[in-house]
Amino acid sequence: MLESWLDHHRSTLALKCAGLDDAQVRVAAVEPSRLTLLGLVRHMAEVERNWFQRIAAGQDVPAAYEDGTGSALEPAQGMDEALAVWRREIARGRELCAGRSLDSTGRIAAGPLVGTEVGLRWVLIHMIEEYARHNGHADLLRERIDGVTGA
């Protein structure tokens, strides 16, 4: 059930980006925010990598992007490449979750909760929340770009 909800939210982000050209995915939100759909996709690739590879699986992997967040303001990378990186991170996360107990644990490696032990169930719920929040941002960005609303 949790993985299905997570996949729903992943698909929603992809839908919000569908049919837009490279200039459109770089349109920022209202000032002073510089948030873009391209930045959201890059950020979610880093989020996928962090929570599934680093936290849930305990792997020591480098950041997917040089800035470590995927949110560089003027990324040279286009949307096709960003989507490919994001989809690879999703696939890797699915591999790492396959067959694992929801009670298997990992430790948060950075931030205010560093060292906290969390279960895979917690990670999946957190990822659903993370996507839900950012999909709200994506809704507003997409509407600003071309008026499209809804999922």
Residue tagged 């809804």 (tokens): 150
- Three-state DSSP string of the chain: CHHHHHHHHHHHHHHHHCCCCCCHHHCCCCCCCCCCHHHHHHHHHHHHHHHHHHHHCCCCCCCCCCCCCCCCCCCCCCHHHHHHHHHHHHHHHHHHHCCCCCCCEEECCCCCCCCCEEEHHHHHHHHHHHHHHHHHHHHHHHHHHHCCCCC
Q: What tens digit of pLDDT does each residue of 12-55 get? A: 999 999 999 999 999 998 888 889 999 999 999 999 999 999 99
Does the global pTM surpass 0.95?
A: no
Residue tagged 């837009």 (tokens): 20
> Could you give the domains of the chain?
2-146 (1.20.120.450)
What the block records as the tokens of 10 is 């992943």
- Provide the pLDDT for residue 68: 63
Q: Under a CB-based contact definition with an 8 Å cutoff, are residues 139 and 9 in contact?
A: no
Sequential pLDDT tens for the chain (151 residues): 999 999 999 999 999 999 999 999 999 988 888 899 999 999 999 999 999 999 988 888 998 887 766 666 566 789 999 999 999 999 999 999 999 999 998 887 777 878 889 999 999 999 999 999 999 999 999 999 999 988 6
CA–CA distance, 123 with 72 (Å, rounded to integer): 25
